[in-house]
Structure 1
Amino acid sequence: MKQFAILTKKETLQFIRELKIVWLPLAFIFLGITQPVVTYYLPYILEAFGGGQGIIIDSSMKDIAGNEILASTLESQFDQLGVIIIVISMMGVVQSDKANGMLGFILTRPVKVESYISSKIFSNYMFVAGSVALGYVVSYIYTNFLFTSIPFTSLIVALLFYLLWVLFVVSFTTMVSTFFNSQGVIALISIAVLLGIRMIVGLNPLLDRLNPASMSEYAKEALVFADIDMSVVWSVLITLLLSAIVMNFAKMWIANKKYNID
């Protein structure tokens, strides 16, 4: 436990040195603001700059319910640019330690691989989850102000579902970062796989049950319909299991490489 605490503190200090503690929350705040603000002001912008040139303005855009706006923030902003930003912020989470020799140095000390990997995933997840939650709450505030209000319970339930998807994103990116030595390759593979499994949500009910990206879809349903089927419990458990599996893959990969002296 002491090893885990020390390594987590080291990772937190790294966030500060890289200014990640500043730019990542700001990035998600920007994404959270974008959807409600653009949706609300787009009809006015089109009317001002192109309304007289044959552009049809749908006035109903101003009457969209707030819960639909917040759901579209998750789908259009967080699930696309948001995932890309998370991957880019984490692509060197293990790779940089391998490249500069820090991983070998750490593991020549009495440090367990489990402590190393768990501290990486825990510290990065808490930080990324906090940034996502901050952007989500800012989007909620703007949506309530510009559109209709959203029940607070729906907000919390949707956020909890979405953070399960974020857990898998963080775990998967960490695993890929242990496999490869090029940050470009890590980013490309992680983005392609994560966006790919997000795109196939909705194609098949059974596949959705096994797909961790379905947590994002459940978050949208919690906002739009305020009603979730209890069968979602199985999807939650499977998402947690898959996250644990990819964490274990990362641990085994390091344990079977020359970095481990045991």
Structure 2
Amino acid sequence: MSQWMTLLQKELLEMWRNFKWIWVPITFILIGVQQPITTYYMPQILDSVGNLPEGAVIKIPTPSAAEVLAQGLGQYTTLGVLIIVLSTMGIIAAERKSGVAAMILVKPVSYRSFITAKWAGSLLLLWFSFLIGYLATWYYTGILFEWVPVTDFFQSYFFYGLWFSVILTITLFFSAALLAPGTAGFSSLAVVIVISLVSSSLSSVFEWSPAQLTAYANEILINRSIPDDTLPASLIAAGCILILLSLSVIIFKKKELAS
């Protein structure tokens, strides 16, 4: 356990030296605040740049606070996923390519500890950054519209974060399986896009898909109740994480021993 903690501390320190603890949370905050601010000032924005005829009046229905917060979450579905992949795609592939991984594994370090410590460090960064960004969305929504209940906020945060954890683990898997970080990132994005498109297009069939957790989080905000399929989807998401982590260790060990 002390070995694993040492590797985790090394990973957290490395992310600090790479400024990930700075730019990732800041990026999530910028993503989070744009939706409530843009929605609130949209009539003024359209009035100033719309070039409408004289006397024309723009009437936009004011969305509820829950709808604004759900729309803010939608921003993380696109830009947030891209940030997760970009910040994680080289976590193993880059170190293996540079020879750092081989130097560490020469010591009595298990492959499982090496992989899971990197995964845990990235997971801490992800959940912290997402919390900071989503808090910014919730705060500005409360200031400009109404306050969404804290319980709804944390429930939607948890289920969205669980789907993000699946995405992170997919990226780590490809980073362990492939040598080039760019290829790992492209493969991860392709898999995530396919899963999301299939799950949304065939939502009645793939009700337990981990990708549906984003829709269930939105329903929590809008309807203030947890959908029935949320628990099975969460359990499958957790199972996918465990399976992908195990496969990452196995594939990485085989590649390292072969080289």
Q: Which runs of 4+ in 1 moved over 4 A?
A: 53-56
- Within 5 A, what are the aligned runs for 1:83-122? 83-122=81-120
* Structure 2: distance between partners of 1:111 and 1:151: 46
Q: Which residue of 2 aligns with 1:204?
A: 203
Deviates more, 1:7-16 or 1:44-53: 44-53
Corresponding residue of 1:66 = 65
The answer on whether the counterparts of 1:107 and 1:260 sit within 8 Å (CA) in structure 2 is no
- Give the structure 2 partner of residue 7 of structure 1: 7
The corresponding residue for 1:50 is 50
2: CA distance, partners of 1:184 / 1:250: 17
Q: Which residue of 2 aligns with 1:33?
A: 33
Q: Which stretch of the first structure deviates more once superposed, 194-203 or 94-103?
A: 194-203
Give the aligned residue type for 1:206: V
Trace 1:126-205 onto structure 2 (pairs within 5 A): 126-202=124-200, 203-205=202-204
Ranges in structure 2 where 5+ consecutive residues have no aligned partner: none
Residues 1:20 and 2:26 are matched in the alignment = no
Q: Do the aligned partners of residues 72 and 199 (structure 1) sit closer, same or farther apart at CA in structure 2, a change above 3 Å counting?
A: farther
What's the TM-score once normalised by structure 2's chain length?
0.94
Shift of 1:260: 8.0
The CA RMSD measured in Å over matched residues stands at: 1.8
In 2, the alpha carbon distance for the partners of 1:179 and 1:78 equals 27
1:151, distance to aligned residue in structure 2 (A): 1.1
- Measured after TM superposition, the shift of residue 59 of structure 1 is 2.2
Aligned pair count? 257
- Look up the equivalent residue of 2:204 and give its one-letter code: P
Q: Deviations over 1:151-173 (max 9, x none)?
A: 11110111111111111011111
Alpha-carbon distance in structure 2 between the residues aligned to 1:124 and 1:102: 18
2:4 maps to a residue whose letter is F
Contact 2:219–2:227 at 8 Å: present in 1 too?
no
Unaligned runs of 5+ in 1: none
CA distance in 2, matches of 1:176, 1:160: 25
**CA distance change for structure 1 residues 257 and 218 in 2, over 3 Å: closer, same or farther?**
same
Amino acid at match of 2:63: I
- Alpha-carbon displacement from aligned partner over 1:17-36 (angstroms, at most 9, x marks no partner): 11111100000000000111
Distance in 1 (CA, whole Å) between partners of 2:185 and 2:59 is 39
Rate the CA distance shift 1:258–1:156 in 2: closer, same or farther, 3 A. Answer: closer
Percent of matched pairs sharing the same residue: 30
Local SS of the residue matching 1:148: coil
Deviation at 1:238, TM superposition (A): 0.7
TM superposition score normalised by structure 1: 0.93
Other-structure match for 2:215: 217
Offset of 1:129 from its aligned partner?
Answer: 0.9
